[in-house]
Amino acid sequence: MVTGELSNSSSAGIGPFGTLVGGAAHHVPFGAEAEGLVIFMGGKYAPLLGTWDDQTWADFTNLTVYDPGQEKWYWQETTGARPSARDLFRVVGVSGDNGTYEIFLYGGRPFSTTKAVGEVYILSLPGFVFFRATPEFSDGATRDKPACVVAGKRQMITFAGNDGSLGFPDSLLDPDPWTNGLGVFDLTALTWKNGYDAGVARYESPNPVKEWVCIGRPGVSDMVEQCVEETVSRPKQHIATLARQQRGHISQQPAQL
């Protein structure tokens, strides 16, 4: 973003074919270089010349990481409540108040059901740990190919998309399920809202992420409040060290596909 020049780099590091269909790429402000890193996740690997039967699903146990400054590819294993393999989902990202960066994943069409879902998941970096943001009873509208953007400090706005599993032409006639066509998800409270709130407080990492950062393991919410103050004051270097100690180093070798 310094020179404004466009460049074309090899995508050979993505899967066995150097391609990704229906997945997501998201830029994150981590890494030694000013350019940050690009995280690739989900979707399918597909040969340039082939059929639908030649495609293979990219699950979320191992993510591809690209360093545009060094033009190098890396691969990192994940832990936690990973989403099932899926495509046609959307992601947004927010910098946390504790040195983390959260990527929120919404909707899509899992391989296991072939039907659109309304689930929301969180990938917290640099720990590369997944959390399920919404329990099944409070999932959002079932959607694949929605548009999503962060607005108003901590709200994910989503609109459009459809449920492709309805088939043609029903999927094209599937109406937007939200009031005025806009869905609003509070990224801190992890709840769907009835409308946009212009006066909402700033973004804070959700409690599941704070638990992991503070004490290194989930399931101890009673300790969150006492360690939040310490966590907010920790530098990113400390969080990165914690991630390496608990989750392992990033690898320059791809996982077995």
Q: How many CB atoms lie within 10 A of CB 134?
A: 18
Does residue 209 form part of some domain? yes
Does residue 48 form part of some domain? yes
Mean pLDDT, rounded, for 250-257: 44
Q: What is the pLDDT of residue 87?
A: 93
Give 162's DSSP letter.
B
Lowest mean pLDDT among 6-10, 24-28, 55-59, 100-104: 6-10
> Is residue 235 very low, low, confident or very high in pLDDT (cuts 50, 70, 90)?
very low
Does residue 42 form part of some domain? yes
> Is residue 31 very low, low, confident or very high in pLDDT (cuts 50, 70, 90)?
low
Three-state secondary structure call for residue 247:
helix
Reported residue count of the chain is 257
Q: What is the pLDDT of residue 25?
A: 95
Give the pTM. Answer: 0.82
Domain that includes residue 122, residue range: 24-247
Does residue 7 form part of some domain? no
> Is residue 151 very low, low, confident or very high in pLDDT (cuts 50, 70, 90)?
very high
How many distinct structural domains can be found in the chain? 1
Structure-token pair, residue 14: 């993505």
Does the pLDDT at position 22 exceed 50?
Answer: yes
Mean pLDDT, rounded, for 114-131: 91
Does residue 35 form part of some domain? yes
Lowest mean pLDDT among 30-34, 170-174, 191-195: 30-34
Mean pLDDT, rounded, for 18-42: 86
Does residue 1 form part of some domain? no
Question: Mean pLDDT in the chain?
Answer: 80
Using CA atoms, how far apart are residues 62 and 245, in angstroms rounded to an integer? 18
Q: Is the peptide bond before 126 cis (omega within 30 degrees of 0)?
A: yes
Does residue 110 form part of some domain? yes
Nearest alpha carbon to residue 104 among 199, 186, 3: 186
pLDDT digits (tens, 9 = 90+) for 185-230: 999 999 999 889 999 999 999 999 988 877 655 443 344 344 444 4
Does residue 165 form part of some domain? yes
Nearest alpha carbon to residue 66 among 100, 40, 90: 40
* Residues contacting 117, CB < 8 A, separation 6+: 86, 107, 108, 109, 110, 139, 142
